[in-house]
Amino acid sequence: MSSKHSWDFFSKDYEDTVFSVTSSRPRRKMFLKFLKYPLVLNLGAGPLPYMNQEMIRAGFKIVANDISRKMIKESSNRFSNQNLYFVNANNLNLPFKSNSFNSVLAINSILPENRKKIDLMLLECLRVLRKFGKFVGFFPAWETSIKAKEHLGLVEKLDEKLIRVYETTGWQCYQTHDTLSNHLKNVGFSKYVVKRILLKSKAEIESMKAIYSINTQNCLMFEYLAIAEK
């Protein structure tokens, strides 16, 4: 098993080393249609500017947080706006008052090593949402990681008992439809739906080919979209 890096390590060359769904405009548009105006918390926003730019164009006000200072610096260097604020913060302890946001957007940013921390992060999302606020989350699918290991050799190690994958920064908890539904129910979201989303746009497939050095025109992955209301 090779050693893994912190997220700081990936801040400069993120697009060349980490697959990101926000590089695809159709995918960004998908997220956009579920958000409630006007104030959005972009949870674990990372270094790429694309989702923030998309939300600004649509008239949202945004607070973009990340646990990595280098990610925040890279993102703010690439795009700034009077309606976009950057905060260095841990998803387990968000420095915001309760009932602050109309929406929380979490795109592949709730990936702790310990599965119990998923509920703690979701509880923080629920706390900072206003009444009837929307949580929009995108989560890596466990089933895809099995396929990636067995057929493509893209995953180093799987933990079937805890539904975790060893990649990028170390162990990360992935989701099935049932595990994600249970997490949303456990923390108290009043309404929620979980959908399987195929990553099949041209931009997504080209990105996978480049990052994973594979030659394909087929959809290789899906993730789970969670839409929940406080």
Q: What is the pLDDT of residue 3?
A: 41
CA distance 28 to 42: 13
- Return the CATH number of 7-141+175-229, one of 3.40.50.150, 3.40.50.620, 3.60.21.10, 3.20.20.70: 3.40.50.150
Nearest to residue 159, comparing CAs of 181, 174, 180, 169?
Answer: 174
Q: What is the pLDDT of residue 152?
A: 61
Kindly report, residue by residue over 167-210, the tens digit of the pLDDT.
Answer: 878 899 999 999 999 999 999 998 999 999 998 888 887 877 77
* φ/ψ bin of 83: left (φ > 0), alpha (ψ from -120 to 50), beta (otherwise): alpha
Q: What is the pLDDT of residue 219?
A: 61
Give the CB-side neighbour count of residue 63, counting CA atoms within 13 A: 18
Kindly report, residue by residue over 27-80, the tens digit of the pLDDT.
Answer: 999 999 999 999 999 999 999 999 999 999 999 999 999 999 999 999 999 999
All structural domains of the chain with their residue ranges:
7-141+175-229
pLDDT value at 220 more than 80: no
CA distance 130 to 190: 13
Highest mean pLDDT among 7-21, 54-68, 145-159: 54-68
pLDDT value at 22 more than 50: yes
Kindly report, residue by residue over 92-132, the tens digit of the pLDDT.
Answer: 999 999 999 999 999 999 999 999 999 999 999 999 999 99
CA distance 23 to 106: 15
Question: For the whole model, what pTM was predicted?
Answer: 0.92
Summarize the confidence of residues 1-25 as an average pLDDT.
Answer: 70
CA distance 129 to 105: 11
Tell me which H or E stretch contains 65.
strand 61-66
